[in-house]
């Protein structure tokens, strides 16, 4: 863990500190870019990784944040049924422009502008989960309840069935 956080990770830490809880952004030497890398670096299950994916709502072009369990693939059709949102892919430039963060380190909070957020109901089964904190090396721990409160997200069954 680094003594001083990088700028992006510090921005996430600052946002979290303003929320009144004792969140601790950790910047690790190993990569946390993928859910598997994050779980290996932290020592938790991949399912406890709250991966942040940004989509583009087709009708409006607005960004939509989907926070999913690291083991799940998001089924856009299930998201549409639950929320009415028709999600399309967002490229790296769109993601960076709309969130202030690059793919691989997108946190669920602290974006340049608040994002409509959809949360994976599968995350609710864990006492603690881990989310990216602004860089491909930074993470923080929280509970599913705090994730919901911080993001104002809608809990949805969004896992793609195999």
Mean pLDDT score of the chain:
94
Confidence of residue 1 (pLDDT cuts 50, 70, 90): very low
Residue 1 lies in a domain: no
Per the structure, the complete domain to which residue 120 belongs is given by 7-156
Confidence of residue 3 (pLDDT cuts 50, 70, 90): low
Burial class of residue 131 (count of CB atoms within 10 Å of its CB; 0-12, 13-18, 19+): buried
| Cα angle 48, 54, 58; round to 5 | 135
CB 138 within 8 A of CB 4: no
Residue 120 lies in a domain: yes
Residue 39 lies in a domain: yes
Residue 141 lies in a domain: yes
Total domain count, the chain:
1
Residue 162 lies in a domain: no
Whether 162 has a pLDDT exceeding 80, the answer reads: no
Global pTM reads: 0.94
As a whole-number percent, the residues of the chain with pLDDT over 70 amount to 98
Only one residue has tokens 């769109």, namely 94
pLDDT digits (tens, 9 = 90+) for 50-79: 999 999 999 999 999 999 999 999 999 999
Residue 115 lies in a domain: yes
Residue 40 is part of a domain; what is its CATH number?
A: 3.90.960.10
Residue 59 lies in a domain: yes
Grouping H, G, I as helix, E, B as strand and the rest as coil, residue 55 is strand
Which residues does 149 contact at the CB level (< 8 Å), separation at least 6?
none
Which residues does 29 contact at the CB level (< 8 Å), separation at least 6?
1, 137
């Amino acid at each position: 863990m680094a003594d001083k956080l990088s700028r992006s990770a510090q921005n996430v830490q600052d946002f979290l500190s303003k929320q009144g809880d004792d969140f601790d952004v950790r910047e690790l030497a190993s990569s946390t870019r993928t859910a598997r890398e994050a779980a290996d670096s932290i020592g938790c299950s991949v399912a406890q990784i709250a991966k942040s994916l940004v989509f583009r709502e087709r009708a409006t072009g607005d960004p939509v944040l989907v926070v999913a369990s690291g083991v799940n693939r998001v089924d856009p059709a299930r998201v549409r049924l639950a929320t009415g949102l028709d999600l399309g892919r967002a490229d790296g430039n769109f993601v960076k422009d709309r969130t202030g963060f690059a793919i691989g380190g997108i946190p669920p909070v602290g974006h340049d502008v608040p994002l409509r957020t959809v949360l994976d109901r599968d995350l609710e089964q864990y006492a603690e989960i881990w989310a990216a904190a602004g860089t491909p090396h930074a993470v923080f721990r929280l509970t599913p309840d705090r994730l919901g409160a911080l993001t104002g997200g809608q809990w949805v069954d969004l896992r793609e069935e195999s």
